[in-house]
Structure 1
Amino acid sequence: MNTATVEHREIRVASACQIEDRLNSAVEDLQAIATRTRTHGILVTRLNPGHYRVSLSDQVPFGLTREHTH
C-alpha cells in the first residue's frame, strides 16, 4: 500500500496494556488536525510488536480510521 502521509505519531509500548490508550491518544491528536483540512483520514500501521505509526493519509477518506500491518 503506497500512502502519502502529512503528519504522523510514532507509538512504542512495552506492554499490551498500554497499546489502546496510546493509540487512542495519537488518533485523537490527528483527528484534530484532520478536521481542519477535511482531506485526510487516519491510518494506523503496526510496524513491529509494540511499535506503531498513526498517520494522516490521503489514501483514507476523511472521517475514517483504517488499520494496516506493515
Structure 2
Amino acid sequence: MTTATMERASADSSPADAPVLRSIDLEFSTAGDVHTGLEEAVAELIEVAAQDASCGILVTKLHPGRYTVALDESVPFGETYEAIAA
C-alpha cells in the first residue's frame, strides 16, 4: 500500500507575497513502489517550483519506506537533492 499526503497553504489564508510551502509525505509498503512514487511526487513539485523559480526540490528519506518530497530554498532552482534524516 502506498499513501501520500500533500500539504499546502491555501490561497485564501496566505498573503499574496508569502511563499507557498509545499511538501508531499510518502509511505511505501513495497520497495517496488518507491521509485514510481518518488518520481510522481517530484514531477508534481517541479510544476510548483517552476511558477516562481526560487527553489529546488529536496527528497528526504526519513526511514525505510517513508519519504518527504518538498520545495526547499537551500536547493538551487532546477535541481533535486536527496538527503537521509539522521
Structure 1 unpaired stretches of 5+ = 1-5
The structure that is helix-richer by fraction is: 1
CA distance in 2 between partners of 1:37 and 1:8 (Å) = 16
State the structure with bigger RCO (CA 8 A, min sep 6), 1 or 2.
1
Normalising by structure 2, we get a TM-score of: 0.75
CA distance in 2 between partners of 1:10 and 1:37 (Å) = 22
What are the equivalent positions in structure 2 for 1:1-70 lying under 5 Å apart? Answer: 6-70=21-85
Q: Report the RMSD for the aligned CA atoms in angstroms.
A: 1.1
Q: State the identity %.
A: 35
SS of the residue 1:63 aligns to: coil
Residue 9 of structure 1 aligns to which amino acid in structure 2? Answer: I
What is the total number of aligned residue pairs between the two structures? 66
CA distance in 1 between partners of 2:52 and 2:22 (Å) = 12
Residue 20 of structure 1 aligns to which amino acid in structure 2? Answer: H
* Deviation of 1:35 (Å): 0.3
Structure 2 unpaired stretches of 5+ = 1-20
